[in-house]
């Protein structure tokens, strides 16, 4: 008789909320358009409810799981992908080790979901697509338009490099154990335009500095650049960061870069 498999006990500190419905799992995996993708990385496969559908895509796939108990469970459940189950912390792995363009997918552990996104942004020339489950608030913030309360650093930085799409939301009862918050699935697709037409490091710095004091005008927040009065008369400096689109931030970056060159 086949030995029955033990189930993984959910661990709070690892953000383990297991999705219960295989139909929903399929719906998530279907959001990943694998055209032009060379490898798929699933973050946090857990007990493999998404994994099952990812395997059916017949693409080179890797399953990154920090939890030993889950990894052991998965290796037994999916013998055919045993060698592709990587027992590591996603935040610590080098994405250069995987064939790009990479598609990243997962029902992300909510405690590190922003860090996952910032890692994707750092590796934007390797990661072409992302499909991820986030806590609803974060999912919405990533896709948010300028001029709204939740528009912030993560919205600008993601949208600078990726087209975003809010796919659907899920209530807590779809998970075991249910999280305290609603969840949302979003997808990201790398923009065709690969560079921003400005100094990207300076762009990052300006976006972060601007939002550190989101109630202040840019004239105030960007004092550190010692801008000349002439430049500071530009109406863009009267604005607050949440009203600026990615294009506006690129424009602002170029104004500041030019000033620093000519100074």
Q: How far is the CB of 263 from ligand SAH (least distance, A)?
A: 43
Closest residue to ligand SAH, based on beta-carbon distance? 44
Q: How far is the CB of 123 from ligand SAH (least distance, A)?
A: 15
* 51, 70 contact by CB (below 8 A): no
Closer residue to ligand SAH in complex, CB, 37/71: 71
Closer residue to ligand SAH in complex, CB, 45/152: 45
Closer residue to ligand SAH in complex, CB, 64/198: 64
Rounded to whole angstroms, the Cα distance separating 102 from 95 reads 9
Render 26-47 in DSSP notation, one character per residue: HHHHHT---TT-SEEEEE--TT
What radius of gyration do the chain's Cα atoms show?
A: 21
* 35, 192 contact by CB (below 8 A): no
* DSSP state letter for 162: E
Closer residue to ligand SAH in complex, CB, 93/202: 93
Closer residue to ligand SAH in complex, CB, 24/126: 24
Footprint of ligand SAH (CB under 6 A): 14-19, 43-47, 49-50, 64-67, 70, 89-91, 107, 109, 112
Lookup: tokens for 207:
């976006």
Q: Between β-strands 183-190 and 162-170, what pairing exists: parallel, antiparallel or unpaired?
A: antiparallel
Helices (H), the chain: 22-30, 51-55, 68-77, 113-122, 136-143, 153-161, 200-212, 218-221, 229-232, 246-262
Q: How far is the CB of 17 from ligand SAH (least distance, A)?
A: 5
Closer residue to ligand SAH in complex, CB, 18/237: 18
Q: How far is the CB of 47 from ligand SAH (least distance, A)?
A: 6
Q: How far is the CB of 155 from ligand SAH (least distance, A)?
A: 23
What DSSP element (H or E) covers 130? strand 127-135
Q: How far is the CB of 134 from ligand SAH (least distance, A)?
A: 11
Lookup: tokens for 97:
């080790």
């Amino acid at each position: 008789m086949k030995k029955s498999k033990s189930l993984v006990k959910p661990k709070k500190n690892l953000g383990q909320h297991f999705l219960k419905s295989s139909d929903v799992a399929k719906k998530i995996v279907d959001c990943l358009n694998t055209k032009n993708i060379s490898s798929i990385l699933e973050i946090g496969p857990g007990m493999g409810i998404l994994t099952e559908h990812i395997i059916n895509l017949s693409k080179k796939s890797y399953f990154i799981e920090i939890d030993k108990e889950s990894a052991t469970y998965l290796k037994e459940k999916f013998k055919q992908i045993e060698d592709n189950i990587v027992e590591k912390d996603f935040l610590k792995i080098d994405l250069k080790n995987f064939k790009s363009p990479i598609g990243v997918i997962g029902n992300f552990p909510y405690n590190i979901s922003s860090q996952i996104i910032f890692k994707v942004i750092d590796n934007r020339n390797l990661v072409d697509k992302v499909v991820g489950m986030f806590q609803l608030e974060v999912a919405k913030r990533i896709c948010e338009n300028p001029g709204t309360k939740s528009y912030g650093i993560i919205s600008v930085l993601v949208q600078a490099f990726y087209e975003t799409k809010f796919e659907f939301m899920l209530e807590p009862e779809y998970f075991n154990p249910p999280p305290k918050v609603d969840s949302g699935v979003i997808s990201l697709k790398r923009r065709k335009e690969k560079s921003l037409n400005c100094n990207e490091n300076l762009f990052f710095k300006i976006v972060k500095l601007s939002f550190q004091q989101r109630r202040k005008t840019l004239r105030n927040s960007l004092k550190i650049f010692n801008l000349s009065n002439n430049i500071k008369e530009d109406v863009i400096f009267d604005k607050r960061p949440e009203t600026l689109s990615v294009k506006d931030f690129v424009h602002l970056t170029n104004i500041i870069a030019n000033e620093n060159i000519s100074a």
